[in-house]
Amino acid sequence: MIYNICNRNYNSPILTGHCMAVVEDLKKEAGIAACKYVKNGMKIGLGTGSTVKYTIIELGRRIAEEDLQIMGVPTSEVTKELAQSLNIPLSDLAEIGKLDLTIDGADEFDPNYNLIKGGGGALTREKIVALASNAMVVVADDRKQVSTLGQFPLPVEVTVSNWESVKEQISHICPGDVNLRETTEVPFVTDNGGYILDCNFGPMISKPDVLEKRINAFEGVVEVGLFVGICDVVIISSSSGIKTSTKPNGRLS
């Protein structure tokens, strides 16, 4: 199969042009497939990332061509701008309250439907929106599927004033490097005005709920990129097609 010859490690050097195109096609398929959960009149959390952007584009198409009636709540400024460009009606949680569904991406997901998120830096708003939803659907390609979380560096949003002390505290429990995320040699700043620490735990986060609570206890932590017990469905795209994996006894089972 064509996809199997491509580099499946997203932390490795850049994929070849052909393989990048294959991966992008798979992302598009998964993003569009998630739209089957969206019904007329729903209030939808709109996630952030390179896969869920295709969900948002498809929702925009359905609004324009099929008269789909929804209200969206974006999880980032990037998503807000994309949704606005597609004429998707938007609101915020303060006005809308409970959401019917959130569709978002993930950097990793394990067999228990736990996630690592935050590669795009929007983890705090993403978690707030997901927790305000009746269900959560994740779209991802199969490179993101792991047996144990942690190969992807765990993002932790921190306050600007406390980032150094948080980094020191996390370093005591993280076996790998804890790095301040930078862009063009200056700290990356989230939509909330915070910094991101990328924590290289390695594939050993077998109890993500315990680790999440431990890191959240450090003064200066805004949010941890572990999403535990929130995801109900993962739509996985691979060379063999689209697979929908539904959490047993989940909210969409």
Catalytic residues: 126
* Nearest-angstrom CA–CA distance, 219 and 199: 17
- Contacts with 23 (C-beta within 8 Å, 6 or more apart), sequence order: 3, 6, 15, 141, 143
Dist CA 221 CA 122 (whole Å)? 14
Q: Which residues contact 206 (CB under 8 A, 6 or more apart)?
A: 148, 149
246 to each of 24, 200, 251, how far by Cα in Å?
A: 23, 29, 9
- The whole-angstrom separation of Cα 88 and Cα 115 is 27
